[in-house]
Amino acid sequence: MGLMRSLYAGVSGLRNHQVMMDVLGNNISNVNTIGFKTGRASFSETFAQTLRGTTQPISSLGGTNPMQVGLGMSLSTIDTLFGQGNIETTGQTTDLAIQGDGFFVVSDGTNRYYTRAGNFQFDANGTLIMPNSGVRVQGYLANGEGKIEAGSPLTDITLPFGKKISARATSHVTLAGNLDASAEAQGNILKTNAVYAVEDGDSDLEGLLATGNANAKITSLSSGTTEVKVSYGGTDHSYKYVTTDTTVGNTSFHTLNDLIAEINNDFSAAGLTASLTADGSLQFAGSAQVSVWSDHPNLLKAFQSLNGDLSLGNTTSDVFSHAARADDLLTNLRDKNGQSLGLVVGDEVNINGFRGGEALPAHSFTIAATSTYQDYATQISSALNLTNEKAVEINEDDGALKIHADGGKIYEITGLDIRADDTVGAGGTDRTAFNAIFDSSPGHYSELQKAEDVKQSASITVYDSLGNAFDMTLIFTKDVTEPNRWKWEAQVPEPASVNGEKNGFVEFNNDGSIKTFEFDDGSTTLQLNPGTGSDDLVNIELDPGTLGGFDGITQMAGPSTSVLITSQDGYGMGNLERITVDETGKISGAFSNGVVQLLGQITLASFNNPGGMMRVEGNLFGISGNSGDPIISAAGEGISASIISGALEQSNVDLAEEFTKMIVAQRGFQANARIITTSDDMLQEVTNLKR
């Protein structure tokens, strides 16, 4: 009877909508389950009963369709939807989330399972597990050198948290940075004591040395104010010092010759005559009493001996000397006290000394009647083989010689010894006054500036085979003898030492790129003896960068350039302190010595048909005949996925969708219930027909 078909159809609808509610209820209950994948129930129509078959069209009639009555519905599938769940950050290193396809591989020792839930922890043995079930995460382990060998078996991820990494001696040092091409080496500067010369009357009175009564340098003259007053034969005339004077008769003077001209202009008629002697003194001649007064204390003293009765003889002032000039004759030179250096024509001057620690060739010359102070300076420059522009200068203020050595310690002037005597060749009597200024006695030369090389250095800590650390420094010194060339020297502190060659040189091309980097003896490595008990010497390769390139040491001009040692490959013993997991699942250990070493790699598995996998208790899936075999690979290699450390994948359940489906399931259930109740009412009417 047809009513029986409707009853069974309603029953099938009730039963299967109940299953749909079961699936929805499971989804909602797991809305916060890590890595959970939502389920979906789908239905299909049950086999239909055919009441009439079909007929084919004929020439006069059309065909007829079949007449079938369905027998209800059945549960078609319950699918697992593997859509991506949201990623939530946790900060826990061992919490891992998969972004993309794939599953973590875990094992209970007998069987392998697969999961998207990455809330892993390490157990007491250092094995990475799922804490709810204890199953172990699978992957590859690295060897002692931090490498995963090809063909490594899939195994438990067990990390040796008490692991120590042995020390490694430094074998390679990488250099970089820049050597300043614009830096100039500094030469030492020597200065003698003051040198004066006989005053010729044409020098500014300011700065003259007065020897006799004053024994002082005439300084602090005030232009237009400083006065000299001369009295003779009852007549007085006053004269004022000025900074410039070109006229006679204006009662002003600038030099001794100016003052002499003014006095003679005013007093010659009275019989007073002023003149300058050959030794630089002012002299009066006449027949009456003369007196000289000045408001300047040193001038007053210097002119004091001019006072007197000229009828008894001429009077003379102090001896005046000026700071030696380039055109002064050597025979007219005096020391800082105004005493003659005692040089005469025919004397021989011998110049000796050291440059860069090596004795200079002996050099001598004979004083001629025309030999000047500048000639002497030129002879010194030639003897010292100076090439810089300043070479030997005559100081304007005190006539001292300033000797400028060429830049760098290789040209440093030391032990300069210049002596004069009265005989050409061996023997002779020393000119002691001259020698007291220019020979090598202590205090005769003041070093105004020390010789300094252009140096740049870089240091780094290196290690021996026992892990003992010591500093190594490379000092680069600019070679002043050849362009674009620097010398280098390796230094280590005691008790460490350098075995063999510790020096070399580096040359650069004109564009600043490195041309060569060599040891002086042709060695290829720097050999260090750490002096710490290690039996092994430390052989270090110095890597300056690519020849002709700019990736290592360069030579460019720059005010803030420096050479660097960027890295070295040695380290001391270290303990494992922490781990990190990268996006490919590689687990790296950070050790206390700063070394980071690969410890292992977590693998992923993918399936041709993940929907065919069997759910297993504890967020796990197992393989089935329809899932296909797992394809195991690293994330990002064979599987399009990445692993995020410190995060978890949440359930992909959409509550809004689930609640909507609940309404649909509820209405479906109610409608099928109405089929049954309506069919029941109809059956009731049938049973009432016999009444």
Residue 177 sits in the same domain as residue 116: no
CA distance 174 to 567: 5
Q: Give me the number of domains the chain comprises.
A: 5
Higher pLDDT, 165 or 305: 305
Boundary-marking domain end, from 413, 429, 447: 447
Query: At residue 274, what are phi and psi to the nearest 5 degrees?
Result: -110, 145
In a domain, 639, yes or no: no
Residue 351 sits in the same domain as residue 404: yes
Is 348:420 a contact under the CB 8 Å cutoff?
Answer: yes
Residue 506 sits in the same domain as residue 595: no
Residue 413 sits in the same domain as residue 337: yes
What are the residue ranges of helices labelled H in 316-428? Answer: 373-383
Q: Decide if pLDDT at 18 tops 70.
A: yes
**Across 359-377, average pLDDT:** 96
Residue 533 sits in the same domain as residue 558: yes
In a domain, 15, yes or no: yes
Residues forming a β-bridge with 191: 402, 446
CATH number of the domain residue 520 falls in? 2.60.98.20
- Among 80-84, 196-200, 484-488, 512-516, name the one with the lowest average pLDDT: 80-84
pLDDT in tens, 507-537: 999 999 999 999 999 889 999 888 876 567 8
In a domain, 643, yes or no: no
Write down the pLDDT at residue 535: 62
Higher pLDDT, 194 or 3: 194
**Across 14-37, average pLDDT:** 89
In a domain, 647, yes or no: no
Residue 525 sits in the same domain as residue 587: no
In a domain, 650, yes or no: no
**Across 255-269, average pLDDT:** 95
Residue 418 sits in the same domain as residue 476: no
Write down the pLDDT at residue 560: 65
In a domain, 646, yes or no: no
**Across 449-464, average pLDDT:** 92
**Across 652-673, average pLDDT:** 87
Burial class (CB in 10 A: 0-12, 13-18, 19+), 423: exposed
Strands of 401-404's sheet, edge to edge?
392-394, 401-404, 189-192, 445-449
pLDDT in tens, 74-111: 788 888 898 999 999 999 999 999 999 999 999 999 99
In a domain, 350, yes or no: yes
Higher pLDDT, 455 or 54: 455
How far CA 264 is from CA of 169, 288, 440, 551, in Å, comes to 93, 15, 48, 81
Residue 687 banded pLDDT, cuts 50, 70, 90 = confident
Q: Decide if pLDDT at 323 tops 60.
A: yes
Boundary-marking domain end, from 431, 447, 463: 447
Task: Classify each residue of 223-259 as buried b or exposed e, where b means 16 or more C-beta atoms within 10 Å of its C-beta.
Answer: eeebbbebbbeeeeeebbbbeebeeeeebbbbbbbbb
Residues forming a β-bridge with 556: 180
Residue 504 sits in the same domain as residue 561: yes
What beta strand segments (E) does 356-444 contain?
A: 358-359, 363-366, 392-394, 401-404, 413-421
**Across 200-216, average pLDDT:** 95
**Across 434-441, average pLDDT:** 95
User: pLDDT > 90: what percent of the chain?
Assistant: 68
Boundary-marking domain end, from 421, 447, 473: 447
Task: Round the average pLDDT of the chain to a whole number and report it.
Answer: 91
Residue 299 sits in the same domain as residue 384: no
Residue 622 sits in the same domain as residue 662: no
pLDDT in tens, 378-397: 999 999 999 999 999 999 99
User: pLDDT > 70: what percent of the chain?
Assistant: 98
- Among 56-65, 188-197, 541-550, name the one with the lowest average pLDDT: 56-65
Q: Decide if pLDDT at 2 tops 60.
A: no
pLDDT in tens, 560-608: 678 888 898 888 888 888 889 999 999 998 888 878 889 999 999 999 9
Residue 463 sits in the same domain as residue 443: no
Residue 53 sits in the same domain as residue 101: no
Query: At residue 646, what are phi and psi to the nearest 5 degrees?
Result: 80, 25
CA distance 636 to 365: 87
Write down the pLDDT at residue 590: 87
Q: Decide if pLDDT at 137 tops 70.
A: yes
Residues forming a β-bridge with 293: 229
Name the residue range of residue 118's domain: 92-166+575-626
In a domain, 633, yes or no: no
Whole-structure pTM value: 0.68
